[in-house]
A = this chain, B = another copy of it.
Amino acid sequence: MHPRLTFALAVIEALAIFAYAVSGFIEARKRRLDAVGTFMVALVTAFGGGTVRDVLLGRRPFYWVEHESYVIAIFALSLFAPFTLRMASRVFSERALLVADAIGLGLFSISGTSIALEAGMPGFIAALMGVMTGVFGGILRDVLCNEVPLVLRDSHPYATCAFAGCGLYLLLVRLDVDSVYSVSIATAFILVARLVTFKLDVRLPH
């Protein structure tokens, strides 16, 4: 890949991980967790989805083992979580965090599906593992904080957007679309679907 593209991708990825970690900080703050508790919740939120997928696929090394620096960065941010949150809310508006989280949802879900396909999973199972990669971090965060996971009870389409995008990705793969395009189109689809349905306040029946 072109080095500038590689760099752009790394930045987007870091942004998505940061957005997931911040949602962990916010939840930890609500529960008045101490610094170590905050660190663990943020870590689980950021890397839980990919780790569960890799355990299911028997895949090693984990992303966070290969990217020790991200773990150390989250640790450092956790020590100053109240300060980090103030900064995050000043630099990034709530809307920016929503967008970053939606980028994460798209990126993690599609990369998860792609990894599961490569590992030989059948289509529907691969899509399921992709969605799990995107949403399981948040589920573990809420389980640790003793709440019914937001993604399960929120009637805004979240996992549903991820599911639709993973389905689209499977279709593009079957149509032999070049992987650069299939990944970007499906990721963008999830991002847009999440933001548009949120903005229009679309609700799922329950």
A residues apposed to B, CB below 8 Å = 28, 31-38, 40-41, 43, 51, 55-56, 58, 60, 62, 64-65, 68, 71-72, 75, 121-122, 124-125, 128, 139, 143-149, 151-155, 157-160, 163, 204-206
Contact = CB atoms under 8 A, between A and B. Distances in A.
Main DSSP-derived SS at the A contact region: helix
The 6 closest A-B pairs by CB, nearest first: A37-B152, A34-B204, A36-B159, A34-B206, A146-B148, A68-B122
Given A40-B152, A146-B148, A152-B41, A35 B68 contact: no
Nearest to A122: B68
A36 to B, nearest CB: 4
Contacts of A128: 43, 71
A62 to B, nearest CB: 7
Nearest to A151: B37
Contacts of A75: 124
B124 A68 contact: yes
Contacts of A125: 64-65, 68, 71
A122 B206 CA distance: 46
Nearest to A149: B144
Given A64-B125, A146-B148, A154 B34 contact: yes
- Give the interface centre of A36, A65, A72 by most chain B CB atoms within 10 Å: A36
